[in-house]
Amino acid sequence: MFIFNEDRALRAKLEGLVVTDANAPAEGRPVEVLWMNNDIELNKLTYPSIVICNLGIERAVEREQRGWMQLPYTPEGFKPWDNYTDVTESPYWSQAPIPYNVNYQIEVLARTDVHATYLRAILAGPDYLPARFGYLAIPEDGTVRRLDLAAGPTEVDTRDSEGKRLFHAAYAVKVSTELLPQQIEAYAKVQSVETEITYDLRRIPDPGYVFE
């Protein structure tokens, strides 16, 4: 579903990270990824952690288009076509989707400078939150969306409820998305053309018949 797919994909992108330190187990120390909501308090977190907040959506006017277009991806809930790597084979058409951007804030919280530095280095990589050419794969429709790092990492001096220091880095992220304005229309391509010509002899005049 619109927006929910992007939320799930962003969390999945950041899950599975580990950091290391002198006391970490051999497999590393896992980094928890969760959403900021009313049920989450900073003093209940385990560290290091990544906290995601969906800040809402905005119209992407610069990507607006008019008219009908052949969708280069399979809309969610529809069956992919046979040669899915060839977008020109797509049978799905729609009026030009309405473009939006989904805005997120991603916060990295750590108890030690070592963990904070390690996570900043990982997240700067091309598969996470790079300064340019970022992406977000959406498995529900098979698309790869544009992910832009709008700001960050911004260092913030943060302390928990006990007054202990937290190493805190904040990122502002923008993900492109689209909302289809109407029901998808699927067109079946012509499989063959019948070229044999037949005649109905009952409709052909008798050559001996004289018209008056």
pLDDT, one tens digit for every residue, the chain (212 residues): 678 999 999 999 999 999 988 888 888 899 999 988 655 555 567 889 999 999 999 999 999 988 888 998 888 888 888 888 888 999 999 888 899 999 999 999 998 999 999 999 999 999 999 999 999 999 988 889 999 999 989 988 777 767 788 899 999 999 999 888 777 788 776 666 666 766 665 665 565 655 55
The answer to whether the predicted template modeling score (pTM) of the entire model surpasses 0.75 is: yes
CA distance 99 to 59: 6
Report the CATH number of the 4-59+99-177 domain: 3.30.2000.40
What is the pLDDT, as a whole number, of residue 164?
81
- Lookup: tokens for 14: 């950041």
Identify whether the C-beta of residue 152 lies closer than 8 Å to the C-beta of residue 171.
yes
For the four alpha carbons of 110, 152, 170 and 49, in that order, the dihedral sign comes to: negative
Q: In the block, which residue shows the tokens 């003093």?
A: 43
β-sheet bridge partners, residue 70: 93
CA gyration radius for the chain?
28
What is the pLDDT, as a whole number, of residue 36?
80
What is the pLDDT, as a whole number, of residue 22?
83
What is the pLDDT, as a whole number, of residue 191?
61
What is the pLDDT, as a whole number, of residue 6?
95
What is the pLDDT, as a whole number, of residue 201?
58
Residue from 18, 52, 19 nearest 33 by CA: 52
CA distance 125 to 37: 28
For the chain, what are the domain ranges? 4-59+99-177
